[in-house]
Amino acid sequence: MPSPFAFARRDELVRFAADKRLPAIYFAEDFTDAGGLLSYGPSISDSYRRAAAHVDKILKGAKPGDLPVEQPTKFELAINLKTAKAMGLAIPRSLLLRADQVIQ
């Protein structure tokens, strides 16, 4: 689950999973960049863009209480093939084709 604690300790969590040979799936792309196997979660950059649109509406006079609460609509899948190879895992081609980022 997304949490500031997990995000702050991502290197430790990724290292622990690798040491125990646990094929873990994380909530943010930063974990796969740190050596994690897979990540799937909302696009942070898309969320920031959507937040900026809300700020724009408020600056143009909209009342914050009148604006709808929005949930993420864009999700990203990242796969670290180096980690998969080190764990002896084969990632299906169909999954690789759907990934937004593949780390060789």
Summarize pLDDT for 23-39 with one digit per residue, the tens. Answer: 999 999 999 999 999 99
* CA nearest to 35, candidates 52, 22, 48: 22
Domain ranges of the chain: 4-44+74-103
> What is residue 1's predicted lDDT score, i.e. its pLDDT?
63
pTM of the model: 0.82
Q: What is the tens place of the pLDDT at every residue in 64-80?
A: 999 999 899 999 999 99
Whether domain 4-44+74-103 has CATH 3.40.50.2300: the reply is: yes
The sign of the CA dihedral 4, 86, 38, 78 is: positive
